[in-house]
Structure 1
């Protein structure tokens, strides 16, 4: 090691020489026999060629570095101190850290495992961590509470201690035994880790801006002769995130086929996947001709739809939640290809000349169609002063409208709407004709003379006469005479007819002509009576 000389505790030997001494043990420098073999000389280790850099140090260097660490940290004799010491210097462990120390006290040189010291104060050094008689032993006042925090927040673990005295408190991560803090100092190079305390009673480990790697358990230790420890765990929750590489993009199938959509999400706890339709329509599951199930949502990573119909086409939402906000979703469009279908609501339409007439066609198709109108199966109509074309799309549905301005005789005929796409062609026909409007005759109005008291009196006298029995008898006699005249006429017109036919003819005539004439006679008599009364 640079700067070492005869006065250095290592005796001026470099790291390679010390490693060689540890490996070969004590040997004579000038050819003394070893292991019962004669004639074999062993050269001095100082004259041997350099060896690779050692993974540890011999006992002398171990004791020196342990003494330096004990003097600086004040932890000599504790289990925590022994753990640190073995990681740093002892021969049976690799060198984990190196620190520069400028001073050392000879009376605090510990002993590495498997070695003995001749120093008279060795026993005192090995038991310096034990509590002296009459002093209280430190202990934990309560358990460390496990905590759960979202990623990016701060996690704080609290370790409550009583009767700490001159003992020290340290924090380690259980998973990899990484030392984080020693008393008031932060040992790790992680800038997100800090330690705070409330007197000598509460020691807090702070983890700022926690990451998923911080998830795990942490140990709080007191450096008593028999190490005392407690463990508290930190659970880091991560909001869900859709994994695009494992999630379906837009899906296109033919009508009648099956479709499968997959959605994967990462997060902690494991996210739940829920499927819905964007417009709020129900999900349709067809397992057979009569086995059809409908639901507003479906839970699971894989959504399979059988024997698709065009009504199932649209946007589907994959929603990932795990109770850690925010929830996320992905929009997946399901396209179903089918040939055009044209429906005409009014195949025959009439209108009077001079009005505006609108013809309609309903088209269903996907992919999108090319639509146009023909007149009399020949002339293609264009948008202009005479014709107005309109097209409204909604998903796979299209409404076609043709408006004829100032409908006239030249516009009478057949109009055809045509729709075509890559899968086929369809059309619908509307026949347009004229409706003639009839003008009604003018209504003549007559004015009635005002009703006087004399007219009311005459009306009452006529009503009394109609109710009179003599008047009723006259009317009855007239009806009977009419019936006899009808029977005589029937006999003359059908002298050889059967009884059934003659009776049917006479009955019909009695029912029709007789009653009609009697009614007319009664009205004539009543009118005559009114005139007489006036």
Structure 2
């Protein structure tokens, strides 16, 4: 009996292709059709994210003996009649009082659920309402259409990246460089440094070592979550060494460190030599450490422990990969140990204050110097006068000479007396 009813329903509910809503006229109390059913509310269109639930609600009045059914218009598949679910889709269910309210539920919607849904009443002619379901799908990458990691040769190759993604609505594509670094991208006929590139394609002409690194393809259509794909660009080139200090002097007993910065890809094998003898990291005499600072740069350090004269001479840092090799020379020499210099530093007060004894000695020395100078001057004057008197050959020459000598002796004695009195008084 149920199968016959379903067959009859399918015949009677041939779904129209129009998206319009066919409503019964509003009932009129004086009209002959006042007891026919009608829709009391309109259906709404829904836009929903994938994997979420949706509910269509159909409200009718004066249903009487008529039935309400749900049909998916594009496939003409009956979803439910009244309180009975017809479809075999386990995600579809119904609810309501099944007299004035008929709800159709679809759980965890997918792209297959997109389309027009109709609430029908099997009157003659049939009346119905329709609602559109749009399912938004977050972006996902097209694995086949998206470029993988690239390996190129420096100054020779052009890197071409392609990134494709699908989703509803269609996602937009942006390229960024990991770590916030800028992209040297082809813009028209020129290369420019930019923060991001829009579009599926990213082109870098004549790649350089600075272009090496991770590039992010970001797909976004405002339906969370946005997705990103990391694509690496590898740039191959032979080793090169960045110039640094190549002449170092050290006194014996100290540690000496030589630094060698090597750029290469693939990564270079680095060795240190002393007078062409390969050095090993023995931890006692020599300590060798390597520190990578980028995808293509390594800092190698050679530390000579407890440096002695025998460690002086020529050292070499050598780097080699499959594309070439290079070396850089260093020279280490022994320097003399400077003797320490000591200086007595006095405070400002100490510099201003002088010992009492030192002050007296300075005054006495000045007085002695002054008296001695004056006595010497007096003697010279007397000698000059005696000389002049002798030349005149007068009769009083002896007396004069003796007089002058006596005068000089008295003057000298006077100065000595003055000096004695001064010293006695002061000290």
Query: After TM superposition, what 4+ stretches of structure 1 lie above 4 angstroms from structure 2?
Result: 68-73, 286-289, 440-449, 531-534
Asked if structure 2 preserves the Cα contact closer than 8 Å seen for 1:171 and 1:181, the reply is yes
The alpha-carbon distance between structure 1 residues 358 and 318, as it changes in their structure 2 partners (threshold 3 A), is same
Aligned counterpart in structure 1 of residue 12 of structure 2, from 82, 87, 98: 82
1:520 counterpart residue number: none
Q: Distance in 2 between matches of 1:190 and 1:288?
A: 53
TM-score (norm 2): 0.73
Cα-to-partner distance string for 1:54-74 (whole Å, 9 max, x where unaligned): xxxxxxxxxxxxxx779857x
2:262 counterpart residue number: 363
Q: Distance in 2 between matches of 1:443 and 1:387?
A: 39
Aligned counterpart in structure 2 of residue 381 of structure 1, from 267, 276, 279: 279
Q: Distance in 1 between matches of 2:271 and 2:246?
A: 17
The alpha carbon displacement at 1:343 in A equals 2.1
2:238 counterpart residue number: 339
Q: Secondary structure of 2:210's match? A: helix
Asked if structure 1 preserves the Cα contact closer than 8 Å seen for 2:44 and 2:131, the reply is yes
1:436 counterpart residue number: 336
Aligned counterpart in structure 2 of residue 398 of structure 1, from 298, 305, 308: 298
Asked if structure 1 preserves the Cα contact closer than 8 Å seen for 2:48 and 2:54, the reply is yes
1:194 counterpart residue number: 93
Deviates more, 1:246-255 or 1:271-280: 271-280
Q: Would you say 1:260 and 2:260 are equivalent positions?
A: no
Cα-to-partner distance string for 1:137-161 (whole Å, 9 max, x where unaligned): 3222232111122222222111122
The alpha-carbon distance between structure 1 residues 244 and 286, as it changes in their structure 2 partners (threshold 3 A), is closer
The alpha carbon displacement at 1:445 in A equals 9.6
2:223 counterpart residue number: 324
Q: Distance in 2 between matches of 1:305 and 1:215?
A: 41
The alpha-carbon distance between structure 1 residues 71 and 307, as it changes in their structure 2 partners (threshold 3 A), is closer
The alpha-carbon distance between structure 1 residues 421 and 84, as it changes in their structure 2 partners (threshold 3 A), is same
1:349 counterpart residue number: 248
Q: Distance in 2 between matches of 1:405 and 1:188?
A: 84
Asked if structure 2 preserves the Cα contact closer than 8 Å seen for 1:338 and 1:367, the reply is yes
The alpha carbon displacement at 1:443 in A equals 5.7
Cα-to-partner distance string for 1:31-54 (whole Å, 9 max, x where unaligned): xxxxxxxxxxxxxxxxxxxxxxxx
Please tell me the root mean square deviation across aligned C-alpha atoms, in Å.
3.5
Q: Distance in 1 between matches of 2:187 and 2:165?
A: 28
Asked if structure 2 preserves the Cα contact closer than 8 Å seen for 1:343 and 1:428, the reply is no
1:133 counterpart residue number: 32
Asked if structure 2 preserves the Cα contact closer than 8 Å seen for 1:246 and 1:262, the reply is yes
Cα-to-partner distance string for 1:465-496 (whole Å, 9 max, x where unaligned): xxxxxxxxxxxxxxxxxxxxxxxxxxxxxxxx
Structure 1 spans left out of the alignment, 5+ residues:
1-67, 86-131, 463-530
